[in-house]
Structure 1
Amino acid sequence: MNLPDVEWRHLDAVEARELRATVEDIYRRSYVDAIASGDPFDAPEQFMHRFDNYTDPAGGSVFAMVMAYVGGTPAGQTWGWTLRPNAAWWRNFQPDDGLAGIDTFTTEDGTRTFALSEIMVCAEYTGRGLARSLHDTLLSSRPERRATLLVEPENERAYGAYLRWGWSRVGVTKPGWPNAPTFDVLIRE
């Protein structure tokens, strides 16, 4: 990584909610083009609504987050949660041809799969290895046997990075969020 003085902060759902304004600031500084596109799914209000849902203590998920600070300034964040039994994550999943044992593949026990939901790096820090470091820092702290994530097929930069980092496509899904696009589903043991 080509950044000096990076500080990593590991947060649970309660701690993440306490930094809600910082979460939104990092989102706004990371997704500048997506926000400017006017796509309702990328609107900061919709993003923060999803964040509030992910960190809702009543939801029962084991939420984990890593924030990166460079020289004391928030520079990026990543988060996810352990999939519980009957996870909504797999509700609209359409597997690729050849994926064997779909019922077994999507059956969760609350300890097997970590859903990596977000990786974002503020525009002024991109291209310096911070996204990979966030990814590795979060996943290396997880006890689950595998991880899954969603990526928009058109997001060539992120998609290419995920493939280089050991992820593989297993199918597609369209989450139940308002205005959600169709995503490719990736998995990594």
Structure 2
Amino acid sequence: MELRHHRLDDLDQVRPILSAIYAEVHPADPDMPFRSVERFEQRLAGHASGNDWHAVIAYDQDRPVGFVYAAPLAPTSKWWSSMLTELPEGYVDETGRRTLALFEIMLLDTHRGRGLSHRLHEALLAARTEERVTLLVDPTHPSVARLYEEWGYKRVGDQQPFPDAPVFTVMVRELS
């Protein structure tokens, strides 16, 4: 398995790769427009609108099989604005270097259960300098939340980032 790091300058090159993996993991479902490839690509454009977007793509003999991508939360970020849980004062104050938002981590079914998601995750974090990392977990997947807990994340509340999105569990991991 080869892991390749990509930055914002590479987005046009890697966008089709990310979208293809997403489409394979989330086949079209008319009952879930939030999970469509079109909506993924819209979210990706928003996530990459800052200048420190970072992705790591896993390749198995030059075939892309998974990815993770993230970006730091800007001082004007709306990440915390859709929280359904009240957080302590100052918790949501962002500087542009405080919190890394891990927006997507995804593997093809054929490559799950081998520790590859953890390798992708840690490769991305090893190149970062933020104080903490946050992500959203669909609560209908408790095994995924347990996995993130094993990686050091703690649940801090719930949020619904878009009206047609599920209510997600928000998790945070402190970084050294």
Scaled by the length of structure 2, what TM-score is found?
A: 0.91
Alpha-carbon RMSD across the aligned residues, in angstroms, is 1.6
Going from structure 1 to structure 2, the CA distance change for 1:131 and 1:37 (only over 3 Å counts) comes to: farther
1:89-104 to 2 correspondences below 5 Å: 89-95=79-85, 102-104=88-90
- Specify the alignment match of 1:41 in structure 2: 34
SS at match of 2:5: strand
1:20-59 to 2 correspondences below 5 Å: 20-32=15-27, 35-36=28-29, 38-55=31-48, 59=49
1:53-92 to 2 correspondences below 5 Å: 53-55=46-48, 59-92=49-82
- Specify the alignment match of 1:3 in structure 2: none
- Structure 1: 5+ residue runs without aligned partners? 1-5
Identity %: 35
Q: Contact 1:77/1:121 (CA < 8 Å) preserved in 2? A: yes
SS at match of 1:62: coil
Scaled by the length of structure 1, what TM-score is found?
A: 0.85
SS at match of 1:94: coil
Give how far 1:111 is off: 0.7
- Spell out, residue by residue over 1:94-131, the C-alpha distance to the aligned partner (whole angstroms, 9 max, x if none): 336xx5xx231100011111001110001111111111
SS at match of 2:82: coil
Tell me if 1:167 matches 2:153: yes
Give how far 1:133 is off: 0.8
Tell me if 1:155 matches 2:141: yes
Write the distance in 2 (CA, Å) between the matches of 1:145 and 1:184: 20
Q: Contact 1:17/1:52 (CA < 8 Å) preserved in 2? A: no
- Specify the alignment match of 1:144 in structure 2: 130
Return 12-21 or 121-130, whichever deviates more.
12-21
SS at match of 1:103: coil
Tell me if 1:182 matches 2:172: no
Runs of 4+ residues over 3 Å off in structure 1: 35-38
Write the distance in 2 (CA, Å) between the matches of 1:103 and 1:23: 36
SS at match of 2:119: helix
